Amino acid sequence: MDNFWYWLLGAVALAVLAAILWPRLAKPVRLSRKPDMLQQQPAEEMAAEISPAIQPAKADRSEFKLPRHYGTDRLVALSKDPNWLYAYWEISADQYESYVRRYGEAAWCAARPVLRVYDITGLPEDSPLTAHAAHCCREILIDPYADNWFIEIGQPNRSFFLELGRLLTDGSYLKLLTSNRVSMPGNSVSSLIDEEWMWLEGIYKTVQQVPCGSGSEGRAVKPDLTSQ
């Protein structure tokens, strides 16, 4: 009988001990899962960084370079500002070979390239661009290997055209190319004062028929539509 009570007390003690220790033993099991979950996240993030989205291939712009020469004979004159001209040119292989056949390659190398500037101010727009029609001429020695040149004119409101040629060793001049006609802009306020510029509100009235608000309405210039 005494043994029975001993066994009963031992069972109760074990039950109480198990009830106390069971929550503590169960907690590490729950926490052990969190590191596993945390270890997976960096792996997923790292995979996203290592393998970015594939970008479309970009076109190589170096394949589309503009050619320096086009194989055509041309001399183009442009006004840079009221006092300066800019010219660029190209002598084709056919033009060069024609010169060499006539004068020889040695003559080409010995000749000096020149630009001639002709003043044709006041001549009609459709008049031929010839040296005889020009008022005066100016000659400029240029570099043998140049294909463009800046020219200081210093004469606003005048018209010019250019010639590219070569001075031979005997002093004669051979014309190779003729440019377009170019007019220099003015360097002062325009002398034309008869223009009447319309205010924006006036434009809205006549073109879009939009009612204008207050402001410069009283000063707006009304267009004369009776002559149209």
pLDDT attached to residue 195: 72
Residue 139 CA to its chain's centroid (Å): 35
In a domain, 52, yes or no: no
Contact 19, 26 (CB under 8 A): no
| pLDDT 10s digits, 128-167 | 999 999 999 999 999 999 999 999 999 999 999 999 999 9
Contact 73, 83 (CB under 8 A): no
In a domain, 150, yes or no: yes
For 40, 69, 70, 156, the CA distances from 61, given in Å and listed in that order, are 44, 19, 20, 41
In a domain, 153, yes or no: yes
Whether the per-residue pLDDT at 46 is higher than 70: the answer is no
**Domains contained in the chain, number:** 1
| pLDDT 10s digits, 95-125 | 999 999 999 999 999 999 999 999 999 999 9
CATH number of the domain encompassing residue 115: 2.60.40.10
Which residues form the domain of 161? 74-183
User: pTM of this prediction?
Assistant: 0.57
In a domain, 149, yes or no: yes
In a domain, 37, yes or no: no
For 159, half-sphere exposure in the C-beta direction (CA atoms, 13 angstrom radius) is 13
In a domain, 134, yes or no: yes
In a domain, 69, yes or no: no
pLDDT attached to residue 221: 46
Q: Residue 221 gets which letter from DSSP? A: P
In a domain, 110, yes or no: yes
